[in-house]
Structure 1
Amino acid sequence: MSGTPSKPTRVGLADKNPLIQAALRQLLNADERFELVHVSSDCQEFLLRVAETPIDVGVIGWIIGPCDGRIILDHVEPGTRIVVYTGDENKSVPSQVMAHGGAAFVSKMEQPEVLLDTIAAVAAGRMIFPYIDVRTINDNPLTTLTRRELEVLSDLASGRTNKQIARDLGVSLNTVKFHVRNLFQKLGVNSRGQAIALYLRS
């Protein structure tokens, strides 16, 4: 098949539903374009596994306790492209995925082949967002934040202090304060509470 890479795309899965895990495992293992590297049941396990065993593309659910897909998108290893595969009918989810650096959004209402082709397209460098009205993208203030600012904001939303964030990110306390000031300015807020509320609403 033309266009098939010499090496299969390394894929990691994260979904809280064992039935979805089993179905996706079967789909990916049957397609020579992909190598399924690991399967996780929650966001923390997924992030740990990706850090230990790098992948090309991650396929994740949107709600995978104890957090949601935004945490993965904000903290996943650089270079890992993420496809969000979910049955969540909230129309804001695709734009949230894009705002947080995701590569694609696929609804679980789609045929399995759509997901497989999306993974292949993402591995080739494309972004797939069929449900987004691109005119609304700039309406989300989170799109103005850098990746590091999004990391800091998601840590704030998780209840971490500046010192804890500095330790987690391996940077100085002053650097964290600098990022916090910048993201406050970009979001037009004056407090952590306002920033977190905007993050959770976006």
Structure 2
Amino acid sequence: MIRVLIADDHPVVRQGLRTFLEIQEDISVVGEAADGAEAVTLAGSLRPDVLLLDLKMPVLDGLGALAELGGGTVRVIVLTSVSDRSGVAPAMRAGAAGFLYKDVDPAALVQAIRAVHGGQVLLAPEAADAMFAGPEPAREDAAVALTDREREVLALIAAGRSNREIARELTVAEKTVKTHVSNVLMKLGVQDRTQAALYAVRHGLA
């Protein structure tokens, strides 16, 4: 059973999400928070598997809540309004595992919860575009330069695997995996594993 905590300052949104999610056989809504500070407190006491987190909330906003959570065991999916395009990169760098907008299809939201709970990184297409918008976006043709092994490593990064897990799966030394990861980051022109995972999702390599 996937334990979900909902954090949104609008009661009607929380109720709507709870009503839909609780008809899923593998999902249980364990609590609701009306602001970021309450979300952090409840995440500590209820120990949910997945937190659905709005960015714009009183007391402590979503980014502040992510900073407080500090990359703990809870997997965070930012679920915010379409106008919050600028929050994508900061949220992912702060530790979010997913970024979706509130106009997401309900069935897609359920699949996202399952995917993120399983260790994947997931973004709405518009969020991925926003993530890579800027003066130095990842090159569109960068993936062409990846070797077959580097593509395998990239797919496993996108699936949320650690270097040790990748080494075990590919039957290679962990030091070799570190080299592959460094090469992938360099060739894609990204700074970290999260951006590499987002690139993989955006370009259908995951």
TM-score by length of 1: 0.61
Q: Which runs of 5+ in 1 are unaligned?
A: 1-7, 141-202
**The one of 50, 71, 79 aligned to 1:57:** 50
Shift of 1:96: 1.9
Which consecutive aligned stretches of 4+ in structure 1 deviate over 3 angstroms post-superposition? 133-140
Structure 1 counterpart of 2:75: 81
Paired residue type of 1:25? R
Shift of 1:116: 1.2
C-alpha change, 1:105 and 1:76, in structure 2 (3 Å) is: same
Is the CA contact (8 Å cut-off) linking 2:35 and 2:61 kept in structure 1? no
Structure 2 counterpart of 1:114: 108
Paired residue type of 1:24? L
Partner Cα separation in structure 2 for residue 38 and residue 109 of structure 1: 22
Partner Cα separation in structure 2 for residue 94 and residue 138 of structure 1: 16
Deviations 1:115-157 (A, max 9, x none): 11111100000011232246458969xxxxxxxxxxxxxxxxx
SS at match of 2:122: coil
**The one of 53, 60, 84 aligned to 1:90:** 84
C-alpha change, 1:136 and 1:15, in structure 2 (3 Å) is: same
Structure 2 counterpart of 1:22: 15
**The one of 3, 7, 22 aligned to 1:10:** 3
Tell me the C-alpha RMSD between the 2 structures. Answer: 2.1
1:105 has 2:87 as partner? no
SS at match of 1:89: coil
SS at match of 1:132: helix
Is the CA contact (8 Å cut-off) linking 1:61 and 1:69 kept in structure 2? yes
Is the CA contact (8 Å cut-off) linking 2:53 and 2:79 kept in structure 1? yes
Deviations 1:28-70 (A, max 9, x none): 1100121111111111111111111211100011111112111
Identity within the alignment, %: 26
Is the CA contact (8 Å cut-off) linking 1:95 and 1:137 kept in structure 2? no
| Between 10-19 and 61-70, the greater mean CA deviation after superposition | 61-70
| Between 91-100 and 39-48, the greater mean CA deviation after superposition | 91-100
Aligned pairs, how many? Answer: 133
Alignment of 1:158-177 (within 5 A): none
Partner Cα separation in structure 1 for residue 56 and residue 114 of structure 2: 23
TM-score by length of 2: 0.60
Shift of 1:90: 3.1
Partner Cα separation in structure 2 for residue 138 and residue 56 of structure 1: 36
Structure 1 counterpart of 2:31: 38
